[in-house]
Structure 1
Amino acid sequence: MNKNRNKKNNKRLYVTPLLPQEQIDYSYETLSKFKYKPPNNTGVILGIIGGALATVGDALATIGSIIQLDIDVEADFQSQLDDFKSDQEKEKMQEEIDTLKGQVKEIEDLKEQLKQLESLIKSNQN
């Protein structure tokens, strides 16, 4: 207990002399030598510029995505239109093929009838 009491009493007190009021110079000449030094805000400024660039980058990415979407939609539409035209042409061609097949069949039927007619004529001549 005695040691704790001695620790409390062993505090050192430092006394520095104060200058009397007359010795402090507040004149214009002394104050004009004072120059304000702004704090180094480089990190904050770079952070602001980085944030602005990130925002611009995000905006550009969004615009690029919209342009790409427009291109993709246009390409898809053109592809579907081309497929539709191709299907229409295929249907026309199929109709023409079917018509030609029908005409070929009619020609073959006519050839058969012609053969029968020739054979009738030959049989009547004899």
Structure 2
Amino acid sequence: MEIILGVVMFTLIVLVLSGLILAARAKLVNSGDVIIDINDDPQNQIRTPAGDKLLNTLSGNGIFVSSACGGGGSCGQCRVTVKEGGGDILPTELSHITKREAKEGCRLACQVAVRLPLIHLSEP
């Protein structure tokens, strides 16, 4: 009887923890489509699934941004201006972008995660 009770309790604990993880993931991780608005042109919008980096998303849609390091964040060539929706600047970007440029929305496309519902982007 003790073995059966132990197995049942273990199974219940695993199920509860799995449910908590799935609920937290649904609340905390953005999913669905993201609209990237380029140069405030309604004809130049990209609808893409959330989760990838901006550099990969742009190149996958035929907009190629120079990046010598291939998206590693070490060259600083993939500069774009993100007017809205880029999130906070990352520490890897601070070695390539000054505080003044950061205030103006300058970001590295390889470091910006596509996860917010709308991203306003201006090509340099």
Q: TM-score, normalised by structure 2?
A: 0.28
More helix, by proportion = 1
Higher relative contact order (CA 8 A, sep 6+): 2
In the superposition, the TM-score normalised over structure 1's length comes to 0.28
Structure of greater Rg? 1
Higher strand share: 2
